[in-house]
Chains A and B, each alone.
Chain A
Amino acid sequence: MEENQSVFDLQVDQAASQNLLGTARWAKFLSVVAFVCMGLFLILFLSLQSQLSRGLSDLIPGLGASEGFGIILVIIIIVIGIVGLLMYFLLRAATHIRGGIETKNQQQFNAGLGYLKSYFTMYGIIAIIGLIFKILGLFSK
């Protein structure tokens, strides 16, 4: 497929390389920050276990302290899992695009674009689900 390409075809030239390397740098920064934030949030949540359990049992009288904490912990783990997967795709995209450009490796570059596609696909699906809930919330009021 690549052999069929003419000199007039699209290339990752100097300007494209610079822009993609900048994209990869910021994308990597974002994903690393997100991973650190998720870790810190989980640590903070687990360290405040007793206070949160007490608060929940006060808020919902029928709910046991450990039950309430367990439900919230499961929700948080699911959210962290989804966001973690999203950030994993972004990190892989950044690493592969950067590696592909630096070593001029076409396969690695395409793998990076593949991860970027996975990132935006997942982001799009989450955005659609979020929008549905937002609209439902608007009509329920």
Chain B
Amino acid sequence: MEQTNQDSSLFDLKIDETSKDLLRKVATWAMVVVVTSLIGYVTQIIQLATARNRAVEYEGFKFSERSQSNIGSTIFSIVVGLFLTYFLYQFASLSKKGVEAVSQPDLNKSFLNLKYYFMVTGILIIIGFTIALLVMLLFGASSMSR
């Protein structure tokens, strides 16, 4: 990292006062997103727990309001969300630390985490699209064969 710092010339881009101010604001709002996401996941877990406990009794039989697949998809979405939130948290905390302490390695790590955040989101979208496309193709094929 030090090597790359030495390589940069006087004509390179700088993190000037405007950039620092903007980065601080980006980090603050990214942290807001992180905190709201975490509270959201807790809310989802509470919803899941209360729905599981709320079993409906009908003619002596107990029925759970939530199906197993629903629980699975909620847990999966929370795990994926936590994974993404971690990268955003790393970006927010490291960029703030980098700007405040004038630390080039921290700032570089924060940009790397921002890249990972968008990259993982992009990969998830590609996977989601592929699954949706496959489901549509299977649905179309099954409806045509009838």
Contacts and interface: CB of A to CB of B under 8 A. Distances in A.
Given A13-B5, A14-B4, A120-B33, A26 B13 contact: no
Interface stretch (A66-74, A77-85, A98-106): A98-106
Given A10-B104, A14-B8, A127-B37, A141 B50 contact: yes
Nearest to A109: B13
Contacts of B16: 1-2, 5, 106, 110
A100 B115 CA distance: 17
Contacts of A17: 13
SS class, residues of chain B in contact with chain A:
helix
Interface string A108-140: 011001101100110110011011001101100
Interface of B: 1, 4-5, 7-8, 11-20, 22-23, 25-26, 29-30, 32-33, 36-37, 39-40, 43-44, 46-47, 50, 98-99, 102, 104, 107-108, 111-112, 114-115, 118-119, 121-122, 125, 129
